[in-house]
Amino acid sequence: MTSNQFEYSNSFFADTIHGLPIPNRRELKKLSLILPHVFPETMIPMRLPEFINKLTNKKYPFYFIFAVLAAGVKYIKTTRNGKDKELETKYATKSIELMRKETDVSDPLIVWACIFILVYTSGTKDLKSNIQVKKVLEMAVKKTRLYQLDLNKNLTKIRYGYTKDELEFRRRVWWVYYFQITGNYIFNGNFITFEQRDIVYKGAAKLLLETEDHIINHLLRCIYYSMFIYLYQSELVRDQDIKIRPERVKAAKQQCIDASIKQMELMEWYSQNVPTEYQGFPHIVWSLNSLVSLTNFFFIQDPSLKEKHTNYFNRIVSVYKSFDKNSEVVDSLLMFVNAMTKIKTKASENNKKYIHLLEYMKPFGISEHDIEPWIIPKYGSFFHSHCCIIANFSTLDIGEYLGGIITTVSVFQNELYSEAYKDSLKKLNQHEKQEEKLPNGYLSQITRTILDLTKGLHIKKSIVVDKGFDIEYFYHKKPLVFDSSLLIVNRSFPENKSKIKRTLKSTSLGGSCEHSTKIFNNKNIPKKSRKNKMRLEYLLNKN
């Protein structure tokens, strides 16, 4: 018995396969009964008696058994320490390794096993397994054409002559995959892999357990409210090329808050009605947008309104913390929300210099105390861009948010700032005289007010730049000086265009021509025989 086998040998485990321990029959049966409650959308292809029989007697391929254990073994163990988490990772790694060596790509169990691995990675920080299994999964779906299973001209279906039961099983496996990728598109704001027009389907799948109706209904409602918030948040994104309407912004904010409260109630229902050991992480991740939306009320100077929505925020956080046992990502999500709060706090401190503009923010708020831009994603999701995090946010700066709204007349309506306006205009004139003496219009002062004036002294735009505030955390700086040379079109052409074209052709075609020559010169290369079966690993590495 190896050290690995000895380490895991106890009454819980009864067998060892590929150096990894397998739970006994009683525990595997228990796991089979738990999984439909924890992951109802993942278990849609499941036929309970058949699943229990094949899992307990190890009739499923080993890659599938390891995938199921990676996602669900924590639900049948009383404790979960570092060794248990390491074992889950080993299950996932071994499952992916065995799948890559499979020769029968048409087996839908490969797709289903990949979904279990994705369920495992959704609750951990195992990014490597997540990336690897997505490649295997997409390749398997494309090769088997599961998304066109009900197409009359589906050659795969005709070739293998699937029975009605086999077709139904493959159909359900496809919908499990569809739920997974659709959720990924919505949450991350990514591009789709399979367009809706390419998907061909008939009928609908029947559910097994009475509780599935309620749990799936709950999950769909969570997704619905999350998408609802995504859509209305788009009204709050500040685009300088689009005229903002206060009534639409105000209405959108109210819709986001109402949906956030609904989602909070759904989360509480789930935590109160589903036993802790059956609670699955996918039901909580959809509430992240609600949590971030409620953080905007931390900065509203209305005690009653602030206390009310802070209470909603704390209620969602308490549900999050109840998921600590079954997911490692909960802490990461709470850290993300905390980071959003810090960004909003820093922006709020910076906005104190815009006291004279606060009156113009009131029409955009759900109350007269809601006078700052909300922290919202600029492109639908906070996770749209992983390389440029700052680019994911809409501006939080009041000066940039208002843009060209402020006019000379509205500024002069406030007597406290009429003198400030005259003084800044005087300084601007002095600065312009100094600027004429400087080469290339160099700006000698960093902290200043830039006024774009017309002949009628009508202020188009007012921007305050504060050198004490690191503004690049929220948006890219705009150049303070307009370069008139940008308006000049360079119409000069190179003297010898043909030479450049020849160079480009030789560069682009050189590699391929050389490669082709080697192929024709080598007569000993045997022709590849066409086989119905090939390793999945070969397909993944194929260019």
Measured CA to CA, the distance from residue 540 to residue 238 in angstroms comes to: 43
Confidence of residue 53 (pLDDT cuts 50, 70, 90): very high
pLDDT value at position 130?
A: 81
Weakest mean pLDDT among 31-35, 185-189, 479-483: 479-483
Continuous H helices in 20-105: 25-38, 48-56, 62-72, 82-100
Angle subtended by helix axes 127-144 and 108-122, to nearest 10: 150
Q: Which tokens hold the place of 484?
A: 């008139």
Angle subtended by helix axes 82-100 and 108-122, to nearest 10: 150
Please name every residue paired with 15 in a beta bridge, in sequence order, or none if there are none: 22
Average pLDDT, the chain: 71
Confidence of residue 521 (pLDDT cuts 50, 70, 90): very low
Nearest-CA neighbor of 121 among 148, 145, 153, 91? 91
Terminal CA-CA length for the chain: 42
Measured CA to CA, the distance from residue 36 to residue 75 in angstroms comes to: 12
Predicted model pTM: 0.45
Measured CA to CA, the distance from residue 118 to residue 140 in angstroms comes to: 15
Nearest-CA neighbor of 31 among 90, 64, 77? 77
The average pLDDT across 200-216 equals 57
At 495 the three-state DSSP class reads coil
Residues 14, 57: contact at Cβ < 8 Å? no
Three-class secondary structure assignment of 231-285 = HHHHHHCCCCCCCCCHHHHHHHHHHHHHHHHHHHHHHHHHHHHCCHHHCCCHHHH
Percent of the chain whose predicted confidence (pLDDT) is above 70: 61
Q: Which tokens hold the place of 9?
A: 């040998």
Nearest-CA neighbor of 134 among 116, 112, 118? 118
Whether the pLDDT of residue 241 is over 60: the answer is yes
Residue 271 or 97, more confident: 97
pLDDT digits (tens, 9 = 90+) for 416-450: 334 444 444 454 455 445 544 444 443 333 333 33
Q: Which tokens hold the place of 499?
A: 């030479």
pLDDT digits (tens, 9 = 90+) for 69-84: 999 999 998 888 889 9
